[in-house]
A = this chain, B = another copy of it.
Amino acid sequence: MTDSFSLQDATVAIVGLGLMGGSLALALGAQNACRRIIGVTRDGKTCQAALDRGYLDVAGPELSLASEADVIILATPVRTIIEQLPQVGQVARQGAIIMDLGSTKHAITQAMQVLPPHVEPIGAHPMCGKETFGFEAAEATLYRDATFVLTPLARTSAPTLALAESLAINVGARPTVLDAARHDEIVAITSHLPFILASTLMTTAAELARDDDSIYTLAASGFRDTSRLAASDTTMMLDTLMTNRENVVVAARACSRHLDELANLIERQAEDALRAMFQDAATRRRAIFKP
């Protein structure tokens, strides 16, 4: 068993200093939430930019920097996390917590199960983000009021879960424990489907515009908001979708079916059915997000 420790006394290593990892470093630093912060990034410019902000004690390209850390947080795209885990398991000190911020949780927690017994793995997924990315998009307030999903493994100890919850609270988020497989089912609906729709909106618009880009002078806030996620980082999204294929395919096909149904109803001028469908969607949307 591991000795438990408090976040306040911990050295935290963050691997990947993009939007999520960079914002976490800034949030922990701004709150003075832990003893030291170590940054790991292969990008030299990001490394310097992160050090310039004054919160990191050390930053560099080598995963071995994480060997001093009590908490190691992987903030890279999902499949990079899965690649990095074995190496992180090797460099991690006795009792170190290994956490990740990946967008899907089943594949990552599966990979965490085979980590050596001297480390304490736990999955995490803070429900926040932006369509801009990289350290230059990072901000200390990104996690504020976000739901911070934690997916403990069977081997995850209570003190490790408690420390992860404390970390979430320290950056202003609301920790919520969830089963990894259920997490992936849900985010296919609430996160991956919206990305797919936004991207497909851009693809469809480009096809229908037939090279007349002047159509976008008529694009107002509706188009802007519905298409926003299409600008997301492609590598991150591809990793996300590829590690949640079954759920995403079900969601995309269900949506395609509803769209076809809608097109048929509009063609047939089936106004009562359309009114009921739109009204129901409007009522649900207003219940979830109060104006």
Identify the A interface with B (CB < 8 A): 127-132, 146-147, 149, 176, 183, 186-191, 193-209, 215-232, 234, 237-238, 241-242, 245, 248-260, 262-263, 266-267, 269, 271, 274-275, 277-282, 284-286, 288-289, 291
A200 near B284 with CB under 8 A, answer no
B262 near A196 with CB under 8 A, answer yes
Question: Whole-angstrom distance between the alpha carbons of A288 and B176 in the complex?
Answer: 37
**Chain B residues in 8 Å Cβ range of A225:** 194, 225-226, 228-229
Q: Which residue of chain B is the closest to A225 with respect to CB atoms? A: B225
Q: Which residue of chain B is the closest to A208 with respect to CB atoms? A: B189
**Chain B residues in 8 Å Cβ range of A186:** 215, 218
Known contacts being A129-B220, A217-B176, A225-B225, is A258 close to B204, with CB within 8 Å? yes
A235 to B: closest C-beta gap in Å: 8
Question: Whole-angstrom distance between the alpha carbons of A262 and B131 in the complex?
Answer: 20
**Chain B residues in 8 Å Cβ range of A224:** 289
Question: Whole-angstrom distance between the alpha carbons of A29 and B193 in the complex?
Answer: 43
B220 near A146 with CB under 8 A, answer yes
* Minimum-distance CB pairs A-B, first 4: A202-B281, A194-B226, A252-B263, A256-B259
B218 near A190 with CB under 8 A, answer yes
Question: Whole-angstrom distance between the alpha carbons of A278 and B237 in the complex?
Answer: 9
A-B contact list, 17 entries, CB within 8 Å: A131-B285, A147-B217, A186-B218, A189-B204, A194-B222, A194-B226, A198-B226, A199-B262, A207-B254, A222-B228, A227-B288, A228-B289, A238-B274, A245-B267, A248-B266, A252-B263, A256-B256
**Chain B residues in 8 Å Cβ range of A278:** 199, 230, 234, 237-238
**Chain B residues in 8 Å Cβ range of A199:** 262, 277-278, 281-282
**Chain B residues in 8 Å Cβ range of A263:** 248-249, 252-253, 256
Known contacts being A186-B215, A207-B254, is A227 close to B194, with CB within 8 Å? yes
**Chain B residues in 8 Å Cβ range of A281:** 198-200, 202-203, 206, 230
B254 near A266 with CB under 8 A, answer no
